[in-house]
Amino acid sequence: MRIAIVNDLPLAVEAMRRVLATAPQHQLAWVAADGVEAVERCGRDRPDLVLMDLIMPRMDGIEATRRIMAQSPCAILIVTADVETNAGRVFAAMGEGALDAVDTPLLGSRETRWGARPLLAKIDVIANLIGDGKTDRRSTADKPRLPAQQLVAIGASAGGPTALATVLKGLPSSFPAAVVIVQHVDARFAPGLANWLSQHSPLPVKLASDGDRPSPGQVLVAGTDNHLVFKAGGQLGYTPHPVDQVYRPSVDVFFDSAARSWSGALVGVLLTGMGSDGARGLKGLRDLGHHTIAQDQATSAVYGMPKAAAALGAATDILPLDRIAVRLTELLGSPRLRRGIVS
């Protein structure tokens, strides 16, 4: 891939140059010292991937990400000092379309080698996303059907945190369904994401743990790099399989598991994101008679996953972001849907 670096610190730029030099399959496209220059350079010479710092003069990484995704969209990885301390800014940048975040590698032979591995791993995952990777269609053995309840299964990727916050904020505190979210995010940031979403939601939000059961009026968020699935007895759990699935945690894997296991009313929702994860799983849900929703192009930070769903005919409804919570409330207040019947 052709990779651009956006950072105002020469030592950080040099550290990233050295990391990229260890991966000959990637090229350095250009370096920008701040967000203003990055937006201009992307307009003239769009790279495959931008390594974007968060805190810079003239224009920070959040605003630069927003403008690049609006004007010259490409993959963006936040690379900044201490992502955990800057979790709020990281989620804001992801809400504008950034895919993920990683700590800046430190300059110096030992530190650079130590910091190279997580950065290169993130770059490799994004390279697979851009190439659309492989969608693994294998499934685990059939699971027992779960009791008839109501479930909203939501998948999201780039732009997802802000989109998820918008959907959750629009749900009433009396919302009668369980909500389970699979967002492409590094496991290190999952606790911060759950805490951040809880500030926008009238419903309680927590990370899904092994053994949890979805319950009405509660939001569970996938919390590891393994895939969230239904296991025996209606409990949620995590599995590394399929191990070669590029999306981790995978929306398709969760949707497939819900399709096999959930016997009650289910609404599948696919929000903004790069690639196609979740599109095939959403189609499987619709083919079983479940209601499905995809975010529309106009309100998607990255119109990849919902676009793929629309192309497959996977979505019963294609809606702007601010209409999704309203539609969920309408649907799950419907006696026909509560019985598992889609009109």
Residues belonging to the active site: 157, 184, 277
Other CB atoms within a 10 A radius of the CB of residue 181 amount to: 27
Cα separation of the two ends of the chain: 46
Classify strands 227-230 and 236-239 as parallel, antiparallel or unpaired: antiparallel
Read off the tokens for 261.
């296991």
Q: What's the Rg (C-alpha) of the chain?
A: 20
Strand, coil or helix: 18: helix
User: Count H helices, E strands: the chain?
Assistant: 12, 14
In sequence order, which ranges of the chain are alpha helices (DSSP H)?
10-21, 35-44, 61-71, 87-95, 109-130, 160-169, 190-198, 251-261, 279-287, 305-312, 321-332, 335-338
**Distance, CA of 308 to CA of 294 (rounded, Å):** 10
DSSP 76-93: EEEEES-TTTTHHHHHHH
C-alpha distances in Å from residue 7, one per residue of 44, 53, 55 = 18, 5, 8
